[in-house]
Amino acid sequence: MDFDSKNIMPRFNLLVIVMVLLGLYILGNAAYLMLAERDYWLVVSKKFVKENVPIPAKRGNVFSADGQLMASMLPEYKIYMDFVAYDKNPEEKAKLQHWRDTMLLNNIDSISKGLSKIFPDKSAKEFKAHLLKGKKNKRRNWLVYPKRISYIQYKECKKLPLFRESPNRGGFYYTEFNVRKKPYGSLATRTLGDLYAGKDSAKNGLELAYDTILRGKPGVSHRSKVRNKWLSIVDVQPEDGCDIVATIDVGMQDAAEKALLKQLKNINADAGVVILMEVATGDVKAIVNMNKCSDGEYYETRNNAVADMMEPGSTFKTASIMVALEDGKITKHDSVATANGQWKMHGRVMKDHNWHRGGYGTLTIPEVLMYSSNIGVSRVIDENYYDCPEKYVEGLYRCGVGIPLNLPLAGSANPRVKHPKKNKNLWWRTSLPWMSIGYETQLPPIATLTFYNAIANGGKMVKPRFVSAVKKNGETLYEYPVEVLREQICSPSTLADIQEMLELVVSKGLGKKAGSKDFKVSGKTGTAQVSQGAGGYKSGKTKYLISFCGYYPSEEPQYSCIVAIQKTGLPASGGGHCGPVFSEIAQSVMAKGVFQNVTEAADSTAVFVPETKDGNIAAARLVLEEINIPVRHDIDHDVADAWGSAKNIGSAVALEQKQVADELVPDVRGMGARDAVYLLESRGMKVTLEGVGNVVGQSIPPQTTIQKGQSIHIRLKR
């Protein structure tokens, strides 16, 4: 075939010319955009690109010493509906919109009923009207429910028609919020601390003290909009925060809180503090701060245990006697005259608590502490140190009284023990005798306990510890060591004398109510009038700080504890009011440690059958079978959730399934908190809890018909 150049070449040349012109046009446009309109398009590009978008790191958890979760970041959700479908293809968009509208209208009744069942505070009729209003107005961000919801509630919503579809198809979507939750409610809440609402920013407590560890490091990303879709590109991955292990023991904390709260209500007190410490380590196992508020109830509003600077009163007498013994000014065999309970000292009258009954007369040094004689202690100190008061104060420092503790908690205070040479303008002739019995000196309760803990610890003073370790993904990254403040607060002989006297205070003296019939307790009572500022000690009704500080068991001390209560008016007795609280806590803590080692108790033919909680018995069956515990049941092995009771029948665990209709309140007594809350909330009920352990009571009886918006209170006990 011949090549027809006359017809083909002109066409080819025309094509080349067109291509060249098109290329020049494109290059010209590109040059124009790059040069003439450069600034304009840079501004436009910023609307479609977001730089340095922070990626929040997950805040670490706070665990108790016994492994319980005390604070954690948990998700909450807000749910929305987009009533306008989207697709780049107009035909597909129209089809999707028609399908979405049809699905909504066909299922509006079942969706509304389902939402009302999940959120009983709104009726199905209200939900239906609300959804139809959003559809009519073609809203793209229509809030389905006004409040934040839990993960369980969100998963229930995803089971509803249309809502179960993907967000692009069905239009149902959510925004997620991370919220700091405390599974044990107000337990040790001031010590644990809080975050500012809606922020990963700590306000106080351990949350603030260990904020840099818990917070982690946020990541960085940038977002670009491509074809109407936002794409997130991660530049720096976030580094989640570490977990901290607090020294708090949930069971001990609960026991301390209940014992104190009961007594505060009994005597109509203004405030109260309990601190429970492990002797050898200084670990704070429980710390309670209760203040009476305007509604007459008690709440943890301030960390009084570490922040309150108050005159300690008679618990300070132990330190005074220790200094005099250590300096060789007295021996435990010496005696001191207290006359009829009144003694004039430098122009002021010192009185014993029983002065109106004629006083104690002559007392031995142990009896001075046993009966908490103001005259006995002040005479010992004044007569031996009046000419050299600085030696007495320096003796207190030597014993560890008055030294700064420098605790990690924000707002914690350090002791104030004045010195006659450094504080000359605050030193009077009466300062020494009144200082010796706990006045003109300010100590936070935890400082007093630290001193008594050292007596229990063989003379070694350790710093109170609130966090024992830092963990991440279950692995220990760092352990906080026991910090020693004083290797020895006094000589062994002085320590032995003091320990003997403190045991006598409880066994024979004013501290009898702090004792126990099961083990020996040692400690000291304290009662002090609280200064009312410029009005001194007699402005209006007299306020008192009453306390008991000690340790147990006396022979081999394991725990030390201080109970301090502020109250207005008489009667006010450290032994009578604080002693019973101390005793109740001590017996509860010691009872917790009394158990039999299964491996030692069992013989070769014994079968150990553990106590099993009621609740999800299908899950219990799996666990029991995994650890080779005999189980009797009639549960289908394919069933993941089966609710019922568990009973130890000696040689096996018997599991019995119980069916409860969805519209009836289930019987959750005997269940653990997790199973009980799940079962009740799955039926749309609002649950509040009190206590720890197994459920022992519920405010609404079982088999009662559930009402919309109904709340139920469950009480737990170990």
Please determine, looking at this structure, whether the domain spanning 250-592 carries the CATH number 3.40.50.800.
no
Residue 93's H or E segment, with its range, is helix 90-118
Count how many Cα atoms sit within 13 Å of the Cα of residue 61 in the half-sphere of its side chain. 15
Helices (H), 420-568: 431-436, 445-456, 492-507
Provide the pLDDT for residue 565.
95
Q: List Cα–Cα distances, 282 to 193, 451, 624, in angstroms.
A: 20, 11, 38
Residue 94's H or E segment, with its range, is helix 90-118
| pLDDT beyond 90 at 187 | no
CATH architecture, domain 612-717: 2-Layer Sandwich (3.30)
SS (H, E, C) 361-391: CEEEHHHHHHCCCHHHHHHHHHHHHCCCHHH
On average, the pLDDT of the chain sits at 85
Provide the pLDDT for residue 650.
59
User: In a 3-state reduction of DSSP, which class is residue 626?
Assistant: helix
Q: Which has more confidence, 642 or 195? A: 195
- Provide the angle, in degrees to the nearest 10, between the axes of the packed helices 317-326 and 445-456: 50
Q: Which residues pair with 175 in a beta bridge?
A: 78
| 572: confidence class by pLDDT, cuts 50, 70, 90 | confident
Q: Convert the pLDDT of each residue in 665-702 to its tens digit.
A: 888 888 877 778 878 877 878 888 777 777 888 888 88
Q: Convert the pLDDT of each residue in 8-53 to its tens digit.
A: 677 777 787 888 888 887 887 777 766 666 666 565 555 555 566 7
Q: Which has more confidence, 444 or 18? A: 444
Provide the pLDDT for residue 229.
59
Compute the residue count for the chain: 718
Q: Convert the pLDDT of each residue in 619-633 to its tens digit.
A: 777 766 666 677 776
Residues 399/461, Cβ–Cβ less than 8 Å: no
| pLDDT beyond 60 at 299 | yes
Segment 168-192 mean pLDDT: 85
Q: List Cα–Cα distances, 195 to 57, 203, 435, in angstroms.
A: 15, 5, 41
Please determine, looking at this structure, whether the domain spanning 54-245 carries the CATH number 3.30.1490.190.
no
Residue 140's H or E segment, with its range, is none
Closest CA to 286 of 695, 692, 697, 696: 692
Distance separating alpha carbons of residues 567 and 583, to the nearest angstrom: 20
Residues 150/94, Cβ–Cβ less than 8 Å: no
Count how many Cα atoms sit within 13 Å of the Cα of residue 15 in the half-sphere of its side chain. 5
| 605: confidence class by pLDDT, cuts 50, 70, 90 | very low
Segment 210-215 mean pLDDT: 89
Residues 240/60, Cβ–Cβ less than 8 Å: yes
Amino acid identity at 652: A
Provide the pLDDT for residue 50.
59
Q: List Cα–Cα distances, 294 to 272, 297, 299, 565, in angstroms.
A: 16, 7, 11, 18
Number of Cβ within 10 Å of residue 510's Cβ equals 23
pTM value surpassing 0.85? no
Provide the pLDDT for residue 379.
95
Q: Which residues pair with 545 in a beta bridge?
A: 528, 566
Count how many Cα atoms sit within 13 Å of the Cα of residue 136 in the half-sphere of its side chain. 6
Q: 349 burial class (0-12, 13-18, 19+ CB within 10 angstroms)?
A: exposed
Which DSSP symbol is given to 97?
A: H
**Out of 58-72, 82-96, 226-240, 447-461, least confident range:** 226-240
Q: Convert the pLDDT of each residue in 592-603 to its tens digit.
A: 754 333 333 334
Provide the pLDDT for residue 600.
36
Q: Residue ranges per domain, the chain?
A: 5-36, 54-245, 250-592, 612-717
| 540: confidence class by pLDDT, cuts 50, 70, 90 | very low
Percentage of the chain beyond pLDDT 70 is: 86
Distance separating alpha carbons of residues 71 and 703, to the nearest angstrom: 34
Distance separating alpha carbons of residues 316 and 443, to the nearest angstrom: 10
| pLDDT beyond 50 at 124 | yes
Same topology between domain 250-592 and domain 612-717: no
Q: List Cα–Cα distances, 605 to 244, 334, 350, 484, in angstroms.
A: 43, 63, 70, 49
